[in-house]
Amino acid sequence: MTLDLTQNDISDVVAADRAHVWHHLSQHKPYETTDPRVFVEGKGMRVWDATGKEYLDAVSGGVWTVNVGYGRESIADAVRDQLVRLNYFAGSAGSVPGARFAEKLIEKMPGLSRVYFANSGSEANEKVYKMVRQISARHYGGKKNKILYRDRDYHGTTIGTLATSGQAQRAEQYGPFPDGFVMVPHCLEYRKQWDVENYGERAADAIEEVILREGPDTVGAIVLEPVTAGGGVITPPEGYWPRVQEICRKYDILLHIDEVVCGLGRTGKWFGYQHYGIEPDFVTMAKGVASGYAAISCAVTTERVFEMFKDAPEDGMSYFRDISTFGGCTAGPVAALENMRIIEDEGLLENTRIMGERLLGNLNELMGRHSVIGDVRGKGLFCGAELVKDRDSKEPLDEKLVQAIVADCMGQGVIIGATNRSLHGMNNTLCLSPALIATAEDIDRITAAIDTALTRVIG
Ligand code: PMP
């Protein structure tokens, strides 16, 4: 750690935090008697808290964001240079970094051609929901307005995106929610809903059943994570995606892939959907786009969709009547451009594939020794270990024990995460999403910490 904080500075910061900051995702009662953790510095895969304690970060900034690691001076320099040149101009004008980044991004996304800028994952998803609704209004007499979402998936924190939350815990107590959002079953084979050979196809057929129940002419789009993140690191079963694509084409339903977590390398390809041969109509992305160096998200779509907003200009209201004030801040695209350069020049996609295999292998090895691990799943540097009371019943491990394992790792100086509760009350999957720069040593240290924590907490 290079930042010199005296004991007085630390006490001041912690006191100010306790007095005035309302932390995300936190019950504040414990802070009446304990200090909140405040991180002060990061470099590569490591962060330091206000007491000077060092941590190996296996969750890329808590929520799978800092893909290229901490302390990237080239991103900071690029952002600084741009901000003093022109920090901001919004409305209908473009920007130099916006145009450059969009061009570079589209190079990696064959079949797609238009980038719409926003500030967060939720917002990018909301943009697409609005596009879908407007397409319905303008081209289907307003009828094809329903949006399907999947059990255990998550798409954001706003009231609109919470209406598409497959994780009940996130939406509890925030209703009522807007109409027109309909849930389809999840595809996690470990938690089988059908006893069949072709599980992937069967899980996709369940989407068709919902479409037929609702009426295909009322369904405009479906939003899906390529690999479900907070709902349990759910990799799709064989055969799932081709069938989903077929169903979307059959009923003229737009396919919206939420790459907020998977995007920009997390799974070992630029985008998660590219593992499965999917041809999406919309792709949204946020976290890894600028690795947390600036706030930026994007909703990307095809020329076909884009064209749907251009016809009938005489009605004066046919364009996409939407804006995000800070979509005009140039820090986002300039940081995103440099972030992509780093991923490319440092070969981070390849590193992610290699280190991802190692992480998955290590977790499988742990599963051989700890019966509390019921299932291990992952793609690239994005892995989960589902914890159960016993392997036969698959009853989820108590949430308190899962939290105790996470806390034990924290005590050892390794930050890991756990999933959110879905409709089925599951909060029992350990989540790992280290930066794409992780080395073999880092990976082994992460799994060694989990090994120790499992032994200490479970036995
Ligand atoms: N989609 C997915 C898959 C996510 O995991 C998240 C955030 N965890 C979001 C959307 C929402 O992103 P944000 O918090 O930037 O609004």
19 inside domain? yes
208 inside domain? yes
The DSSP output letter for 35 is: P
How far apart are the CA of 285 and the centre of ligand 1, in A? 9
Token pair belonging to 81:
């240079």
Q: How confident is the model at residue 386 (pLDDT cuts 50, 70, 90)?
A: very high
Question: Which residue, chain included where needed, has tokens 């029992």?
Answer: 428
Task: Please report which residue ranges of 274-347 form alpha helices under DSSP H.
Answer: 303-308, 331-345
Give the pLDDT of residue 310: 85
Question: Does ligand 1 lie within 6 Å of residue 118's CB atom?
Answer: no
Q: How confident is the model at residue 6 (pLDDT cuts 50, 70, 90)?
A: confident
Mean pLDDT confidence for 295-311: 94
Which among 319, 345, 371 is the end of a domain?
Answer: 345
Q: Is 432 left (phi over 0), alpha (psi -120 to 50) or beta?
A: beta
Residue 169 has pLDDT above 70, yes or no: yes
Give the number of the atom of ligand 1 that is nearest the alpha carbon of residue 157. Answer: 16
Q: Tell me the backbone φ, ψ of residue 70, rounded to 5 degrees.
A: -85, 160
Residue 313 has pLDDT above 70, yes or no: no
Task: Please report which residue ranges of 25-71 form alpha helices under DSSP H.
Answer: none
2 inside domain? no
Q: Tell me the backbone φ, ψ of residue 363, rounded to 5 degrees.
A: -65, -40
Which amino acid makes up residue 326? Answer: F
Co-location of 138 and 279 in the same domain: yes
Question: Does ligand 1 lie within 6 Å of residue 59's CB atom?
Answer: no
CATH number of 19's domain: 3.90.1150.10
Co-location of 56 and 113 in the same domain: no
Co-location of 59 and 176 in the same domain: no
Residue (of 445, 452, 448) closest to 57 by Cα position: 445
Residue 121 has pLDDT above 80, yes or no: yes
240-282 residue pLDDT tens: 999 999 999 999 999 999 999 999 999 999 999 999 999 999 9
Co-location of 339 and 360 in the same domain: no
DSSP letters for 273-316: GGGTT---SEEEE-GGGTTTSS--EEEEE-HHHHHHTTS-GGGS
How far apart are the CA of 163 and the centre of ligand 1, in A? 14
Residue 425 has pLDDT above 90, yes or no: no
Residue 316 has pLDDT above 80, yes or no: no
Co-location of 45 and 105 in the same domain: no
Which among 289, 320, 345 is the end of a domain?
Answer: 345
Residue 357 has pLDDT above 70, yes or no: yes
217 inside domain? yes
Give the pLDDT of residue 145: 98
Give the pLDDT of residue 453: 98
Contact, 186 vs 151, CB < 8 A?
A: yes
Co-location of 93 and 153 in the same domain: yes
Q: Which of 59, 165, 261 to mutate to test the pocket of ligand 1 (most atoms within 8 A of CB)?
A: 261
Q: What percent of the chain has pLDDT over 90?
A: 85
Q: How far is CA 191 from CA 126, 161, 194, 233, 452, in A?
A: 30, 25, 9, 13, 27
For residue 18, what is the enclosing H or E element? helix 7-20
Residue 77 has pLDDT above 90, yes or no: yes
Co-location of 310 and 212 in the same domain: yes
Co-location of 251 and 359 in the same domain: no
Mean pLDDT confidence for 276-295: 98
Give the pLDDT of residue 34: 87
Question: Does ligand 1 lie within 6 Å of residue 136's CB atom?
Answer: no
CA-nearest residue for atom 5, ligand 1, is 261
42 inside domain? yes
Residue 229 has pLDDT above 90, yes or no: yes
Question: Does ligand 1 lie within 6 Å of residue 154's CB atom?
Answer: yes
Which among 345, 373, 398 is the end of a domain?
Answer: 345
How far apart are the CA of 258 and the centre of ligand 1, in A? 9
Domain count, the chain: 2
Co-location of 26 and 118 in the same domain: no
Q: Looking at the whole model, is its pTM more than 0.90?
A: yes
1 inside domain? no
Report the alpha-carbon angle 350-282-101, nearest 5.
55
Give the pLDDT of residue 345: 98
The overall average pLDDT reported for the chain is 94
Q: How far is CA 142 from CA 8, 91, 128, 370, in A?
A: 61, 27, 16, 54
Question: Does ligand 1 lie within 6 Å of residue 156's CB atom?
Answer: yes
32 inside domain? yes
Q: How far is CA 197 from CA 100, 192, 213, 247, in A?
A: 47, 11, 25, 20
436 inside domain? yes
Give the pLDDT of residue 32: 86
* Cα 109–chain centre separation: 18
Give the pLDDT of residue 2: 58
Co-location of 273 and 405 in the same domain: no
Q: How confident is the model at residue 1 (pLDDT cuts 50, 70, 90)?
A: low
How far apart are the CA of 154 and the centre of ligand 1, in A? 7
Report the alpha-carbon angle 363-368-370, nearest 5.
85
362-383 residue pLDDT tens: 999 999 999 999 999 999 999 9
Question: Does ligand 1 lie within 6 Å of residue 119's CB atom?
Answer: no
Which amino acid makes up residue 431? Answer: C
Give the pLDDT of residue 14: 86
* Helix (H/G/I), strand (E/B), else coil: 117: strand
Give the number of the atom of ligand 1 that is nearest the alpha carbon of residue 156. Answer: 11
Q: How confident is the model at residue 318 (pLDDT cuts 50, 70, 90)?
A: confident
CA-nearest residue for atom 7, ligand 1, is 156
Residue 50 has pLDDT above 70, yes or no: yes
Co-location of 332 and 359 in the same domain: no
Give the number of the atom of ligand 1 that is nearest the alpha carbon of residue 297. Answer: 15
Report helix, strand and coil shares of the chain as percent, to nearest 5: 45, 15, 40
How far apart are the CA of 249 and the centre of ligand 1, in A? 27
Question: Does ligand 1 lie within 6 Å of residue 63's CB atom?
Answer: yes
Count CB atoms within 10 A of the CB of residue 185. 19
| Range of the structural domain that residue 403 is part of | 7-66+347-457
Token pair belonging to 47:
């962060």
Give the pLDDT of residue 311: 73
CATH number of 222's domain: 3.40.640.10
How far apart are the CA of 160 and the centre of ligand 1, in A? 13
Question: Does ligand 1 lie within 6 Å of residue 286's CB atom?
Answer: yes
How far apart are the CA of 122 and the centre of ligand 1, in A? 6
> Beta strands 114-118 and 54-57: pairing type?
unpaired
Q: Tell me the backbone φ, ψ of residue 99, rounded to 5 degrees.
A: -65, -45
Check residues 312 and 296 and name the one with the higher pLDDT: 296
How far apart are the CA of 181 and the centre of ligand 1, in A? 18
How far apart are the CA of 179 and the centre of ligand 1, in A? 21
Residue 196 has pLDDT above 70, yes or no: yes
Count CB atoms within 10 A of the CB of residue 425. 11
Q: Which of 154, 225, 291, 326 to mutate to test the pocket of ligand 1 (most atoms within 8 A of CB)?
A: 154
Mean pLDDT confidence for 94-116: 97
Co-location of 168 and 281 in the same domain: yes
Report the alpha-carbon angle 241-245-246, nearest 5.
115
Q: Which of 157, 260, 422 to mutate to test the pocket of ligand 1 (most atoms within 8 A of CB)?
A: 260
Residue 424 has pLDDT above 70, yes or no: no
Question: Does ligand 1 lie within 6 Å of residue 356's CB atom?
Answer: no
Q: How confident is the model at residue 135 (pLDDT cuts 50, 70, 90)?
A: very high
